[in-house]
Amino acid sequence: MKDVELLSLQEKLKSRSKNIHQKTVKPKVERGVVFRNKSNTYCISLLLLLFLLPFLSCSKVGSQTPVVIGINTWTGYDPLILAESKNLFQKNNVNVEIKRYGSAQEEMQAMRNGVLYGAALTMDEAVSLHESGCPVKAVLVIDYSMGGDMLIGQKSITDMQSLKAKKIGYEGTVVGEFLLQRALKANNIKEWEVKLIEVKAENWLTTFREHGVDAMVCYNPTSTILLNRYEGNLLFSSKDIPFEIIDILVFSESFFHSNKSAIVKVAKTWFEALEYINGNPDEASEIITSEKQITLAEFKQGLSGLIAPDLKTNKNIFNSEYDNNIYKYSQVIIDFMMSEGLLSGRLNTDDFFDSSIVSTLDKL
């Protein structure tokens, strides 16, 4: 059966069976599956779906089958939008579809369902996905958040101490919880001294504008919009915890092993997109701001809140002998997840990260 047929059948089966993912109380991350419909039809559909997913992921994609990669609204993933718009993937002879999602949770679920071959995710999201039974390989570091993730207070909230007994909105992901916990700890505030409200990413602007919360944990471009358009106050950001929030590009493990040549071309295109943005900032910003409906100033401010390592830096990052390697930097978020009971055991980072893709790219 061809990949396209498998994807079509998988999507039909998905409409007949629904996986309900449990969330831990703290932080609220999807953790498992609850089966509520126990009819024979449901069970048969689910078994067929589970049977087909490995074939979908393992199949080697042909030139006509797109490598579907998911992204959410985080500014750091914008080079993939540019690459698609400027036909950079086609230039490198790889057929890629960039699929947009409103939140990381939706993106992760799409990976679990086999809708995506790859995804741009934060480290914690990728590890959670890996831990939940959807093994992935991390092939390159997209960026380090250096101010792009923020805790923003309403106009009346001017400092962290003003948050006591107030409502703080956050998406309920590990990275949101992580930033919030680091902010509270740095200011000697206990979690019980604030009220946590889960707010989906697509509702951040509305909730903040309507004063549904006193502060919001969010990321760019939303965080910059809250600061500029709604008179928000910056209380804490990833700039205060440099190199601790990391975004990576991952592919399902089975797809990775069967399609390395395609992934190499995707990675090559990624670094070319970074170069294109640096060399053509006006054109790049026009493409991205038009799609995301943000201003040029908001786009540039968003870029200032992250560091996107180039190919040379990525090669160093994936070298275990390099001082600032990914194996070392990833331990901060892994330690946090372990402390919160979100991992059943220590992640084998030697297996999770794969340096072969960036090592192959000797020349662009």
- Mark whether 232 and 334 lie in a shared domain: no
Judge if 79 and 61 occupy the same domain: yes
Q: Do 211 and 267 belong together in one domain?
A: no
Amino acid identity of residue 177, one-letter, is: E
CA distance 14 to 230: 40
Q: What is the largest CA-CA distance in the chain?
A: 60
Residue 172's identity, in one-letter code, is G
Do 54 and 195 lie in a common domain?
A: no
Tokens of 279: 């060399």
Backbone angles phi, psi at 304, to 5 degrees: -70, -15
Give me 77's structure tokens.
């993933």
Q: Are residues 121 and 199 in the same domain?
A: no
Give SS3 for 52. Answer: helix
Work out how many domains the chain is built from and give that number: 2
d(CA 219, CA 262): 30
Q: Is the domain of 130 the same as that of 14?
A: yes
Q: How far is CA 218 from the centre of its chain?
A: 13
Question: Are residue 301 and residue 344 in the same domain, yes or no?
Answer: yes
User: Where a domain ends, among 187, 215, 240?
Assistant: 240
Tens of each residue's pLDDT in the chain, 364 residues = 334 333 343 443 344 333 333 333 333 333 222 222 333 433 333 344 444 444 444 456 655 789 999 999 999 999 999 999 999 999 999 999 999 999 899 999 999 999 999 999 999 999 999 999 999 999 999 999 999 999 999 999 999 999 999 999 998 888 999 999 999 999 999 999 999 999 999 999 999 999 999 999 999 999 999 999 999 999 999 999 999 999 999 999 999 999 999 999 999 999 999 999 999 999 999 999 999 999 999 999 999 999 999 999 999 999 999 998 999 999 999 999 999 998 988 999 999 999 999 999 975 4
Amino acid at 38: K
Residues 121 and 47 in one domain: yes
Tell me: do 44 and 82 sit in the same domain.
Answer: yes
Quick one: which H or E segment has residue 141? strand 136-145
Domain span at residue 10 reads 3-143+246-360
Domain end residue (candidates: 221, 240, 259): 240
Smallest Cα–Cα separation from 103: which of 184, 206, 219? 219
Three-class DSSP labels, 129-163: HHHCCCCEEEEEEEEEECCCEEEEECCCCCCHHHH
The domain boundary residue, chosen from 240, 267, 297: 240
Claim to verify: residue 195 and residue 260 sit in the same structural domain? no
Side chain identity at residue 183, one-letter code: A
DSSP symbol at 21: P
Helix (DSSP H) and strand (DSSP E) numbers for the chain = 18, 11
Could you tell me if 287 and 226 lie in one domain? no
Please report, for the domain that includes residue 171, its CATH number: 3.40.190.10
**Closest to 120 measured CA to CA, from 249, 221, 237:** 249
> Do residue 203 and residue 256 come from a single domain?
no
